[in-house]
Structure 1
């Protein structure tokens, strides 16, 4: 399951989204995340699903790769849908299942939540899938730079966020290896009482934390050996260039947001 997580991974393929400035992608996706929560009818949700699928196709990231990335959250989506189905008591009764009654409003809310979760994961994952870690760091730093006036360390904050995203797949792969090693030694993570399962996680968490601290120490030593002393006085080998494509991307995101807001009143 761990190897299917796509957040933090970068896929280098030639596409329109890959050529965009990271600042325009960050701004557009942030706007789209807000837009998703404004959808309150099926017309708006259908547009959001179509728009998200279109963005995935434009990224040229393999569909099978994106589908694998959605697997880890499918259980969460199903649990959320079932909670809405059996706990929402509004609208008309569709059918009764034993002591439970399923209402049309519960089905409607469950489907809305499922669409929101899936589209949120896909859109936010597209940032890291189409943006290299270096460009992502530069884009975050550039967007946060106005906050330097209130003494916010924009460079260091952007660096921490990009390192965290970069090491998500690394730690998940490490967790996968440790899990398989512990299972080969007879540790059972799937059966038995809940207390036993919690105890079985200790042989997984302890070496994972040790590995995380070791990697953090190695990274700190490597950065110090290369003369890293923070963002003050640093120059850049690669400069971000905002082009007409970025204006079009932001304009499309704004136009899409206005369309969703308009559909709220239908």
Structure 2
């Protein structure tokens, strides 16, 4: 685990130079737009923009690869579940039926169902990259300051910042405990069978949880001794004013949101129907 996952790394890119407030606003509007619309044209355009933004950020793949694989597994299970529980939902949605092949019982694969699930896949492809990017390019302290700026209590904002900063500490603790376990003959490498390896990993989780609880207790005690939470307001060391790049990013997401909503609801429905 030489490369820390889902941790902020400061790089000199246009994405990293944006303030936490503009990144937060961009992500919230982006996610809401993607969740509302089902227009394939807009989702494809947003996917291309997301890929371009991710490329500009120059975030190493190793920093988010494990989480991405977990999301892909969940995505695959979600697609299977959609078809198993609603194999003809696309037919109901688009009002037409074009069969591809009859599988078994009442399960028939249709073009309408494929198109609907393709749109669901696009939603994942649109939201996930920007969501991961938001975590990877936003300094936790600056993110906390941004939350407080938009009205979130500074206590909650500071808790979020601590949680984000704690991610690399958890990874380091897991690595140390893992090395200690391996020194005692507990193998969690790929040389061991999957079932045995899973059992060995679970045996590592208990000391990891205990270590985390102990660390949380120390942090909470230190904060209490320093009088954290007594004042109604606080200042932020990492807070930054909006700059030209931030206004461009905000204007960009506003244009994308308005354009997608106008295009989507131009015909009175949020579902783009290619079968009319």
Contact 2:26–2:253, Cα closer than 8 Å, also in 1: yes
- In structure 1, how many angstroms separate the alpha carbons of the residues matched to 2:171 and 2:114? 34
Match of 1:148 in 2: none
Q: Cα distance, 1:253 vs. partner?
A: 0.5
1:119 pairs with one of 126, 136, 159: 126
Match of 1:149 in 2: none
For residues 82-97 of structure 1, the aligned pairs below 5 Å read 82-90=80-88, 91=91, 92-97=98-103
Contact 1:86–1:101, Cα closer than 8 Å, also in 2: no
Match of 2:163 in 1: 164
- In structure 2, how many angstroms separate the alpha carbons of the residues matched to 1:136 and 1:11? 14
TM-score, normalised via structure 2 length: 0.76
Q: Cα distance, 1:96 vs. partner?
A: 3.2
Which ranges in structure 1 are unaligned for 5 or more consecutive residues? 146-153
Q: Deviations over 1:67-124 (max 9, x none)?
A: 5541121110111122233443323322234554322233223222222224322212
Structure 2 residue 110 is the aligned partner of structure 1 residue 74 = no
- In structure 2, how many angstroms separate the alpha carbons of the residues matched to 1:244 and 1:223? 36
Match of 1:40 in 2: 38
- DSSP 3-state at the match of 2:100: strand
Q: Cα distance, 1:136 vs. partner?
A: 1.2
Match of 2:95 in 1: none
Q: Cα distance, 1:131 vs. partner?
A: 1.6
Higher-helix-fraction structure: 1
For residues 192-211 of structure 1, the aligned pairs below 5 Å read 203-211=203-211
Match of 1:185 in 2: 186
Summarize the Cα distance change of 1:231–1:72 in structure 2 as closer, same or farther, 3 Å threshold: farther
Contact 1:16–1:59, Cα closer than 8 Å, also in 2: yes
CA RMSD in angstroms, aligned pairs only: 3.1
- DSSP 3-state at the match of 1:144: coil
TM-score, normalised via structure 1 length: 0.78
